[in-house]
Structure formats: C-alpha cells, structure tokens
A and B are shown apart, each in its own frame.
Chain A
Amino acid sequence: MKNPMLMPCAGWVEKLAVKYPDDLSFADRVALNEHLASCPACDTIHSAYQAMGGCICNLPPVEPLSRLPYELLQCEKRSAPRVEQLETTAPGILLWLKSLSEIMLVRPLRQLTPVKSGLLQQAAKMGTTILSFVHSCTHGLNVLERIHAALTHLHQRVIYVSSDDHHFYALRNDTSSILWKYKKSDVFFSSPTVKNGVAYLTSFNAQMFLFSAQWRAGGDSFLWKE
C-alpha cells in the first residue's frame, strides 16, 4: 500500500473489494480475473485490499467483558414472573392464598357443614380474586406493596359487627354472608375499630379483643385478648 495516487478503474472498485468467492457470480469472477491480468493499477489495489483485510483481521483482540452486564442481571430479577416473585418473597402469604382454593380440592364439600362449605366457596373465590389482582398489579410497586394493596382491597370489602348474641361477625360487604364469627360468653360492648389489619373491640367485662382483619381459611381470626 505505497501509492495513494493510484486509482482503480471506474466500475471495478466494488468487485476488487470482494473477499468471499460467493459474493461474485461466476461470470463476474472470470471478468475480474481477466481485468486484473490486463490492468496493473487494479491488480495492485486488489492486492492492497487483500493485505488490508488481513491487517484488520490481525489487530489484537479487545479484552472482553468479564461477565454478563450487572444491569442485565438486575433486569432479570425485576422481570421474573410475579407469582414466582411472590413465592420467593412472601411464601407464607402466597401459601395462604393458594390454600383457599386447595381446600376445595382435598376435602369434598359434602363432608363439611353447609356454613363451612359456604365459607370455603366464598374463600376460594376471594383467593382467586386476590391472586389475579396481585398478578395484574403494575410494575411500579414492589411485591410487598402489591400484597398490601390486595389485602387493603379485601379489607374494604369486609364489615365487622358485634352482636348481642355474644358473637363478633365478619361479613362480606356485598353479599352480607358470614366470613367468620367469634363467640364469647359475655356481650361485646363497643363497635369494632379496624386499623392496620387488626380489628379491635372491647367487652362488658372490660376485656380488649384483637382479631386479624385478614381473612384466614378455615380458622377463626382471634389474635389476642387482655
């Protein structure tokens, strides 16, 4: 490559620059070889192009990346399917939600009392709703926020009633069906107050009762009394 003023013949530059045989048709290859034999300038440039290709190929390689980009690994964590995320971050809550529908499968309804079977049916429906709701939440929230949002959504659909039949009831807001109830020997005094997932109420004998406002499958929601 020693003569910068040397110019290839018009119309031949493209063919001179071809590296692989298949980039030219057979007829073009024959024509190129004939031209190179008769044109010293193009022959020199053709050789220069071949040498040039070798030089570019033989440049020392660049040190590669040590591993997959960190951001990519982070992206992978973020984009994992949401139910899997729930399984890794909140296994207890997810198991509870799943159990609502699994109870229906493992224990035939006819073995249960009508009240219990009704409760379980409602629970299963609600469990499915919660799972769908959590699953369809948008990207901006983290998993725990989504679960909290789902449970808040659920709380808003439950009303708590203390009755003079010595029972404390949790009822569905839309159908008024009983979700769960708690029986006490004495009569409950106050109307319940619900805050941060806990229902508070007091009885005539000055006892304080705390119930989980979260909906438990199968069991009562009693937490604590003093």
Chain B
Amino acid sequence: MSQSARDPTVAPVLTDTVWFVEVVRDAQAGNLSAFDTLFQYYNARICTYLARMIDNDEEGRDLAQETFIKVWRALPGMNDVPQFETWLYRIATNTAIDHLRRRKFRWPLSKNHEADDTSQFLRIAGPEKQIEEAELIKMALAQVSPHYRACLLLQYVAGFTQREIAQSLNLSEKSISIYVGRGCEQFRQAYERLENGQDATRKRRSTP
C-alpha cells in the first residue's frame, strides 16, 4: 500500500514492512498462528468499521467474525499479498452490505424503529455533551447510503486514500471521488437535520 498519500508526519504503517508481507504469506500457507497475528492487528479496526457500517456494535462484532472466517478461507486464493489490507476491507464491506440487504428484507420497519430510538434519545434529560455528539454522528452516518457510507468510513476510519478505496471496492477512482463527495454531503445534511431537530426538542422541553 502506498504510504506517500498519507500524512508524512505519521509513522509508516506496519502493512508496508517486509515482516508483514511474510506474515500474510505464512497465513496464506495455512499457518493459523500467522493468521492470528493478522487478526490481532485488524480485529479492533474491522470491528469498529463494521459496527459503524451497520450502526450496531454487537452485530458489527458478529460480522467481523464472519469476515475473518471468510478471509481465512479465501486467503490461499489471494494473489496480491501487499494489497492484503484493501482486500480485507473489501470482504468486510461486502459482508456488511449483504447484511444490510438481508436486514432490509427481513425487517422493513427497522428504519421506523431507528426513528423511535432517535426520539427516545432526544427525550433523555441531560446526557453528557460528548456522548450526545457521538450518538448524533452515528445516527447521521446511519442515514448515508451504504455504498457512500463505506467510502466515508474507508477514508476516515481505515485511513485509505481514494486510490486505495477504489482498489478495495473494485471501482474506478472517479467513481470513488463521486461517492465520497456524495457521502460527505449526505452526512452533512443528515447531521444538520438531526442537530436542528434536537435543538427544537430541547426548546420545546424548556418551554413551560
């Protein structure tokens, strides 16, 4: 993975080292201990990425588990060892998008349920500002289209450049540029709406 696109003040990431490539090759050859090393390195990040993708921490962990199983099984067939990270996130993204499709199919009312949760959240008196802000961001993120959300998360959470996102999602750089732009705009508008709604609720509550 190219490091030049990243912030030059940040130390080179582990994935650029020869050692890392060796670990991936060992895991590819069926060495579970080597795979465990990769698992330890990506575990938290993949869990966080998937939890943000589907807006649910517990399900995110389940999907992370599913992702690592898929990765283990598909690893022997992976050709480009230095691109392991983008490949891993591709599997994670596809797993999340499949899950969102299934969820939409099985529980078409889940969106309303989320809206209920939102209003309930807004009714909670005096939550800490930081937690409130984090919840607002998560809710706004959940309102972004899944493919745009994946691009946003790969850019901001995984730290991928648009070229790497393109490799990861098997799309052109131009498409990724458009997706990231639209994702940002959808997020901004969703956040503003939620924030304004929250302000209005607070005002109503404070009015005698």
Contact among B60, B156, B189, B192 with A53 in the assembled complex (CB-CB below 8 Å): B156
* Alpha-carbon distance A20/B7, docked complex (angstroms): 7
Q: Does A52 contact B (CB under 8 A)?
A: yes
Q: Which residues of chain A in 1-47 are interfacial with respect to chain B, using CB atoms and an 8 Å cutoff?
A: 1-4, 8, 13-23, 45
Q: Chain B nearest CB: distance from A18 CB in Å?
A: 7
Report B30-73 CB contacts with A as 1/0, cut-off 8 Å. Answer: 10100110010001100110011000010011001100110011
| Interface pair A69/B155, CB less than 8 Å apart | no
- Interchain CB contact under 8 A, B178 and A14: yes
Tell me, yes or no, whether A48 is within 8 Å of chain B by CB.
Answer: yes
Q: Which residues of B contact A64 (CB under 8 A)?
A: 43-44, 47, 61, 64
Q: Which residues of B contact A13 (CB under 8 A)?
A: 181-182, 184-185
Interface residue total, chain A, C-beta cutoff 8 A: 39
With A56-B152, A75-B69 as contacts: A61 and B44 at CB distance below 8 Å: yes
Closest beta carbon of chain A to B108's beta carbon, Å: 26
| Interface hits, B104-141 → A, CB 8 Å | 133-134, 137-138, 141
Q: Contacting A19 at CB < 8 Å: which of B47, B155, B163, B193?
A: B155
Q: CA of A73 to CA of B191 in the docked complex: distance in angstroms?
A: 42
Complex Cα–Cα for A20 and B5 (A): 6
- Select one of A59, A61, A76 contacting B138, CB under 8 A: A59
Q: Are A68 and B162 in contact (CB under 8 A)?
A: no
A61 CA / B44 CA spacing, docked (Å): 8
The answer to whether A69 and B133 have CB atoms under 8 Å apart is no
User: Counting CB contacts under 8 A, is A72 at the interface?
Assistant: yes
Residue A63 at the B interface, CB < 8 A? yes
The one of A19, A21, A22, A76 in contact with B156, judged by C-beta atoms closer than 8 angstroms, is: A19
Contact of A71 with B by CB under 8 A: yes
Instruction: Across the interface, name the chain A residue whose C-beta is closest to B4.
Output: A22
| Cβ–Cβ contact B184 & A16, under 8 A | yes
- Give the nearest-CB partner of A80 in chain B: B30
**Contact A14/B195 with A69-B65, A69-B69 known, Cβ cut-off 8 Å:** no
Chain A residues near B83: list those with CB within 8 A. none
Q: Which one, B138, B157, B192, contacts A4 given CB within 8 A?
A: B192
Is the Cβ of B61 less than 8 Å from the Cβ of A65?
A: yes
In contact, A56 and B47 (Cβ under 8 angstroms) = no
Known contacts being A23-B161, A59-B52, A68-B68, is A4 close to B180, with CB within 8 Å? no
Other 19 A-B pairs with CB < 8 A, given A4-B188, A45-B188, A52-B187: A1-B195, A13-B185, A14-B181, A15-B181, A18-B162, A18-B177, A20-B6, A22-B4, A23-B162, A52-B188, A55-B137, A56-B153, A61-B48, A62-B51, A62-B61, A63-B57, A65-B47, A69-B68, A73-B32
**5 tightest CB-CB pairs across the interface, nearest first?**
A4-B192, A22-B5, A14-B181, A13-B181, A17-B184
19 A/B residue pairs, CB under 8 Å, sorted by A = A1-B195, A8-B185, A16-B181, A17-B184, A17-B185, A19-B156, A20-B161, A22-B5, A23-B161, A49-B188, A52-B187, A55-B133, A56-B137, A56-B152, A62-B52, A63-B47, A65-B43, A65-B68, A69-B69
